[in-house]
Chains A and B, each alone.
Chain A
Amino acid sequence: MSIHDEAPPGVRLVGLTKSYGPVKAVRGIDLTIGAGQTVALLGPNGAGKSTTIDAMLGLSRPDAGTVEIFGRGAADAIRAGLVGAMLQSGQQPEYLRVREVVELTASYYPNPRPVQEVLELTGVAEFADRWATRLSGGQSQLVRFAAALVGDPDLLVLDEPTAAVDVAGRNDFWRVMREVAQQGKTIVFATHYLEEADAFADRIVLLARGRIVADGPATEIKALAGTRTIRATLPGVETERLATLEGVASVQRHGDTVILSCTDADTALRALLSGYAAARDLEVRGGSLEEAFLELTDDSEDGVSATPEAVIQTETAGVNS
């Protein structure tokens, strides 16, 4: 790719909105993924990851917003063979052997990779002659991965690729993914495992309740999502003063309750107790990603605190050049 060519991004989502009946699954997502980036869509169940991916792939029509893949509409890009996808919880078709599933998928693409090469790369070759419906969860997942790869697409979209796969299977999967990422593909994968997103993605887009709540390099998001909070009843103390405590990143006050978001909750708790004897009803929460999401989104939902603190938008998050 020449420096002077303004290559279109791998994926561009603008103002994506989608409701299922009264449920607002996605509430305005703007996301640009540069060609060659590996991006994790991280979020708990119901965050809107699959809805976003379905819209990205033209499987559902968004209520509002646009989808572009390498500068084209989704259907167009798919027809041109630019996209390979592994959808969530897809089962293998009946009456086909493993090799045939991959062969069949290869036949749909204009310039597929050699089937045998992909079978070997993904480790599927070992059981290529078995019926596709008679596989373990991990094996079936690898077959779907092989099918996503065999068309040699420029964009790979993987919706929770390691759901229902055991630990050994996950490791195999990510080992292959690393090799593929090195070939310069644009990769978007959804996961609710922070460790996977952190280990594999250049960039993490954190989704909760249908919105992007954070977007940045994996290390920053990991720090954010790993945050623990201390809640305490502590009237009459200025939040600015509490924010200076060691281990505290930011402070919010809801009435008499203060919420300290901590980089180091243990240290912060000690400092709080030694400095403010009046603090009571102490509660240390967090650690889990789920709670970090809820914390981030509760605030932005209720408008209790200003959202900008909760939403971290880092400079490196945009299109990479």
Chain B
Amino acid sequence: MNVGTHLKFEVLRTFRNRGFLIVTLALPLVLYCAVTPGNKSKHAMVENMPFELYFMTGMAAYGALFAVFSPTTRIALDRQRGWGRQTRVTPLRAGTYLSAKVATAFLVALPCLALLYIAGTAFGVRMSASQWLEMTGLLLLGLIPFIIMGITVGHLAKAESMPAVIGGLVVVFALFGGAFGEFFNSGATLKVIKLLPSYWLCQSGKVAKGSGGWAAEGWIVVAVWTAVMIAVAIPAYRRDTRRA
């Protein structure tokens, strides 16, 4: 059993789907470049951050969130085409399969982040190397529950409902998490919002203003969501052997 070959083809298949990849990478970048110039001159600071940084972190969270759902449609199509069942009658291990999906999701998210960082820098974002790294590290950690959510959804929903399901999940989590701006920043609503892993994903960028990364609550929320998603994903994968 050669794990490298499986991962290589998994990544190759994702990156050969050019149309999908281009839209995934371009969307947050285009939104960022379209919104930033005008607003940068209107609002110098938002939430104590320069606009170009504030919106860059928001679009990074949104874009990466969208990117990590890239294996989802692939999984659903593979199931529909009978390829999922076909791999089940080979010695391919569940662990190899799932970790290759996770790795692929990260590999789509990384260039998405890189493009936004480049655009941000062009619009005047300046941070220390450790701040860039800390932000990126927290973004990647915050994506984990969503990657597993995406794999689970791929094994549960039909391919034709994927645009609606993925679009819905990404928009809801991005909006309530604060990727497009913090609409709920006080009181009881905020308490609920803080239970969303996407809130902490969006907060990853806030380290840039020196807030010291996630509060303990953030680590717990992300860990619990990850655990719950794994608990749902494994039986969803195991049981998914029926004829399409």
Contacts and interface: CB of A to CB of B under 8 A. Distances in A.
B216 interface: no
Contacts of A93: 13, 78, 81, 83
Interface residues of B, number: 27
B189 interface: no
B131 interface: no
A146 B17 CA distance: 25
A87 B91 contact: no
Nearest to B92: A108
B242 A60 contact: yes
A59 B87 CA distance: 11
Interface string A45-75: 0000010001001111000000000000000
A89 interface: yes
12 contacts: A50-B243, A54-B243, A58-B88, A78-B91, A79-B93, A87-B85, A90-B86, A94-B77, A96-B12, A96-B13, A107-B2, A109-B90
B42 interface: no
Nearest first, the 10 A-B pairs at minimum CB distance are A90-B82, A107-B5, A91-B81, A85-B89, A95-B16, A107-B2, A108-B90, A95-B13, A93-B83, A59-B241
Interface string A79-104: 11101110111111111100010011
Interface in B27-58: none
Given A78-B90, A90-B86, A109-B91, A104 B81 contact: no
B66 to A, nearest CB: 20
Contact of A108 (B1, B12, B14, B242): B1
Contacts of A90: 81-83, 85-86
B6 interface: yes
A59 B89 contact: yes
A92 B91 contact: no
A57 B88 CA distance: 9
A207 to B, nearest CB: 18
A107 B78 CA distance: 18
B9 interface: yes
**Chain A interface main SS type:** loop
Interface of A: 50, 54, 57-60, 78-81, 83-85, 87-96, 100, 103-105, 107-110, 144, 147, 151, 157
Nearest to B14: A95
Of the listed residues B78, B85, B87, the one surrounded by the most CB atoms of chain A closer than 10 A to its CB is B85
Contacts of A144: 86
Contact of B9 (A59, A91, A96, A147): A96
Contact of B6 (A60, A95, A107): A107
A88 B242 CA distance: 12
Interface in B84-116: 85-93
A104 B89 contact: no
A87 B82 CA distance: 8
Contacts of A85: 86, 89
B82 A109 contact: no
Contacts of B243: 50, 54, 88
Contacts of A57: 88-89
B95 to A, nearest CB: 12
Given A87-B89, A104-B9, 9 more contacts: A60-B242, A85-B86, A91-B82, A92-B81, A94-B81, A103-B9, A107-B5, A108-B92, A109-B90
Contacts of B85: 59, 87, 90
Contacts of B77: 94
A183 to B, nearest CB: 20
B5 A104 contact: yes
Nearest to B3: A107
A94 B5 contact: no
Contacts of A87: 82, 85-86, 89
A58 B239 CA distance: 11
A52 B86 CA distance: 16
A8 to B, nearest CB: 19
Contacts of B86: 85, 87, 90, 144, 147
B91 A79 contact: yes
Contact of A81 (B2, B6, B13, B91): B91
Contacts of B17: 94-95
B82 A89 contact: yes
Contact of B90 (A59, A91, A96, A105): A105
Contacts of A157: 89
Contacts of B5: 103-104, 107
